[in-house]
Chain A
Amino acid sequence: MKNWKTWALSILVFSIVIHIALIYSFPTLLMNKVILENSERANGTNKFAHIPRATATNKSITRPSPDIAYSSCTIDISQGPVKITIPATKPYSSLSILGTDTMNLLTINDQHATGEYIELVVAKAGQKTPPGIKPLILASDTALALARYVIKSDENWKQLDTLRQSATCSRL
C-alpha cells in the first residue's frame, strides 16, 4: 500500500513539473517557430520580409490589422551588431523588438525618428557600436524586429508598399 502511494505521488509530482516546464517554455518555443518562419520568408537573417497586406485570405499574421502594413526581420547579432532603419511614415509607424520569449523589448515610433527614418542599433554586451548611438543590448543572439506602418487609404497603400522596401536590417 505504501509503495503504491509513493508511486502515485511520484507520478503526480512528475506531471506537475512537466506541466510547469511546458508552460514556461511555450513562449520561447512559439517565438523560435516564428523567428524560423520569418527567416525563411526573408531568405535569411538580418533581412526584412515585407508581409503582404492582410485580407481574409492572406493570413500571415494572427489577428492582423488590414490597415497596417507589417514587415519583419530576424535579427542575428552573433557575428556583430545590427542596425535597423525603417521609413518614418505618417500618421503612425513604429519599430518593435521582440525577444525570444515573445516579450516586447522596445518600441519606437515615427515621433522618435531622426529625419525620415526610425533608426536602432541592436547589439550584445561588449560589442563595439558606432559612437553617439545608444544600442539596445540583447541577452540572446536572436530577436525579431517588427515594423508597423499605418495605411491611410487604398490609394496610399501602393506608395507605402514601395516606400517600405527602403527599410534595412543589416550587420554593421
Chain B
Amino acid sequence: MEQKEAMYFTSIKDSEGNAFDGNCTYHLEGSELNARWWSITAYSIYSELIENPEGRYSITKNSVIRKEDGSYLTVISPSKQEGNWIAVKKGQPFELTARLYNPASSILKTQEKISLPKITKKACS
C-alpha cells in the first residue's frame, strides 16, 4: 500500500538499544499517533501473535486508556497487569509493530521525525 494509506513501524529494541526480552517488564509511553486509526501489536520473532489467555495482543486508538493530557502508559509484561497491558511470553524475545492507517500529512512529510512511543525496560526476572 502507499504510505498515505498505511505505514508500519517495527521495533525490536528498547530505548536503551537492547533487544526485547520476555523475562522483562517494559513501559510503553506515548501520545496520540496522528492517523485515522492506529494500533501497536506484539509478535514473536516468527511474526506470530503471542499466546495469552486474556487475548491481550495489542493496544489501539479505540482501546487504549488515556491520561487526562491524552498520553498513555502501557505495560508490556508476561504477567497480568491492570489497565493498558500487552502480554508477552516469559523467556521469549518479541517485537512490536505500530500500524498507522491514513497517517496525517505531517507524518508523511517528516516521517523520520515521527514521535513514536518510548519503550523503557523496568525490571527483569
Contact = CB atoms under 8 A, between A and B. Distances in A.
B47 A63 contact: yes
A74 interface: no
B16 interface: no
A62 B36 CA distance: 24
Given A91-B36, A107-B1, A67 B48 contact: no
B62 A153 contact: yes
B72 interface: no
B51 A56 contact: yes
A111 to B, nearest CB: 8
A55 B37 contact: no
A64 interface: yes
B interface residue count range (under 10 / 10 to 19 / 20 to 34 / 35 or more): 20 to 34
Nearest to A58: B49
B43 interface: yes
A62 B55 contact: no
Given A56-B52, A66-B49, A96-B1, A91 B39 contact: no
Nearest to A94: B5
A107 B101 contact: no
A105 B51 CA distance: 34
B100 to A, nearest CB: 11
Interface of B: 1-2, 5, 36-37, 39, 41, 43, 47-52, 55, 57-58, 60-63, 97, 99, 101-102
